[in-house]
Amino acid sequence: MGIFNFENETPLGDVQSVDTATVVIHVTAPELLSKLQVNHLVVIRSSKLGRYLIGLVSKIMRKYGNETELTEGDEIATTDIVKVSLIGTYIEKVGEEMDVFKRTLESVPEISSDCFLISDQTLSEFMRVISTKNFQDLEQPLLIGSYTLNDEARAWLDGNKLFQRHAVVVGSTGSGKSFTVATIIEQIAKLKSANAILFDIHGEYKPLAGEGIQHFKIAGPNDVSGNDILFLPYWLLTYDEMISFMLDRSDSNAPNQAMLFSNTVMSEKKRYLHQAGKTDLEASITLDSPIPYSLSALLQTLTEFDEEMVPGAKANTEKQGHYHGKLTRFIQRLDSKKTDKRLNFMFCEDEDLLNYSYMSQLCEQLMKPSEADWGGVKIIDFSEVPSDVLPLMVSLIARIIFYVQQWMEKEKVHPIAIFCDEAHLYIPQNTNQSIEDASLSSFERIAKEGRKYGVGLVVISQRPSEVNRTVLSQSGNFIAMRLTNADDQNVIKKLLPDSLGDFAELLPILDIGEALVVGDASLLPSRIRVTMPNKKPNSNTLKFWDEWSKENVENYIDIAVESLRRQVK
């Protein structure tokens, strides 16, 4: 016998109308309304034996009669109506087979079908079916928290579908978004062959440590090569990325500068291959091929073009070459970037960074799954990367990972997930500069094609209205925490299925640590209380009033000023 037994139960009411996935219930037992709330679950008898339709209450209404002439003592007739969104089918199995819950609607209720409330005991059993039986084939399902409807029922997510279909984690500052990400990361780290990358833009995930987690930092102004320091040399950039970063398109000589720059880069790459004894690659490389080359040699060649004098029309005379003076500003701009200490991670002249094998070493660090002495979850700290080049550097890592996965033999691909914290900074809805355009194109491609090559995307942001719509629309899972901004709420509402539009009305009133979870990874669209991680991220939320109330506060301003000058904390 299944968990639903309504033989001795009084129905809440009966079906009055059916419209695709929406049902209107005419309440015949008004005394039961006190036990019903919006977003509670109800059960409707299906026309098929042993099957029940599960619905989510979206609205409770009381309609009054239309009597226009009433005498003293007359009562106004009322009708109670409950609007329900159908979300799935519960199927009772016969014999040893276990009951299952499916998100599909294999049938719709007939007019006058009974609708029942779910008791606390039955709700607990139903949640157990949802949370356990449907994930029994998974060795270690992903525990996200507990259902708000029933604290005793644990909420599990299907880790396969969560990353296959991409995911979005959103919430205003202080809603518990970082804790949610940390909870997921901790559980990924426990898997024997875990493989994930977290872009930590502000360094708030430093406290996450332990077996299965590896920390890296993008090199700062005074950093040198080390096991936990990452350099992203300029020669890893594609042609479009190089141009967006190095070329001023407003310069009248920009076309000449771009043409000579691309020609010189190609020549320098071929020269490098020749010196490295890899001449067999010369015919197949392109401007986008990640082949090292010397930036100093490139600048010298461009300077020669810029200062070139050619024989004049008369004997023993010279005139300016065709490109004389047209590259001056470009060379100055490129040289200033090369000497900018803030860009040490890109223009460091360490010989190891110009080694042919450097890219393989970098990808090994970024993409190697968990091993005995290696953490499969890689947390990359971008806190010292200047904001103007942040989009380019984040997308560079994402693009490299995607390309390597794309060129790997299909049978040997090991999936990897990319967590994009503060995604609105580098996956923007509106781009203002060419660097942002280059960054956006990489993430759009991963969002559209990543599933084919085992690359999952998790977009994390406190401002979903500022995140690119294409990337958001490609995501099949949403973990939405409290959102107070109307624009952010509207974006999430539009991305949710039409039948769950009213469900999103909860967004501004969610408690800290509560989330609406909707998508392929969660069989039941649910309000969930997220489990706190073992090690909490550093949210950097200072308690203003408490700090101001202290009697004495030490002064560290001089130290901070000196750190600013030295570019070292």
Give the tens place of pLDDT for each residue, 144-169. 888 887 777 778 888 888 999 999 99
CA dist., res. 467 & res. 127, Å (int): 34
CA dist., res. 36 & res. 530, Å (int): 24
Among 176, 88, 165, 172, residue whose Cα is nearest residue 519: 165
The pLDDT score that the predictor gives to residue 6 is 83
Through-space distance between the first and last CA atoms of the chain, rounded to whole angstroms? 65
Among 528, 524, 530, residue whose Cα is nearest residue 56: 524
Note the pLDDT tens digit of each residue in 94-142: 666 677 788 788 778 889 999 999 887 788 778 777 666 555 555 667 8
Residue 282 token pair: 């010369």
Number of other residues whose CB lies within 10 A of the CB of residue 173? 12
What average pLDDT does the chain have?
A: 87
Note the pLDDT tens digit of each residue in 312-369: 777 777 788 888 888 899 999 999 999 998 999 999 888 899 999 999 999 999 999 9
DSSP 106: S
The pLDDT score that the predictor gives to residue 66 is 61
Note the pLDDT tens digit of each residue in 458-514: 999 999 999 999 999 999 999 999 999 999 999 998 888 766 656 778 889 889 999
Measured CA distances, 111 to 44, 78, 171 (Å): 11, 21, 40
Among 412, 561, 528, 555, residue whose Cα is nearest residue 171: 528
Question: Averaged over 65-71, what is the pLDDT?
Answer: 57
Measured CA distances, 154 to 126, 144, 162, 182 (Å): 11, 8, 17, 18
CA dist., res. 402 & res. 193, Å (int): 19
pTM of the model: 0.86
Note the pLDDT tens digit of each residue in 514-556: 999 998 888 788 889 999 998 888 866 677 888 889 888 888 8
CA dist., res. 132 & res. 122, Å (int): 15
Residues 6 or more apart in contact with residue 42 via CB below 8 angstroms: 12, 25, 36, 54, 55, 57, 82, 84, 115, 116, 117, 118
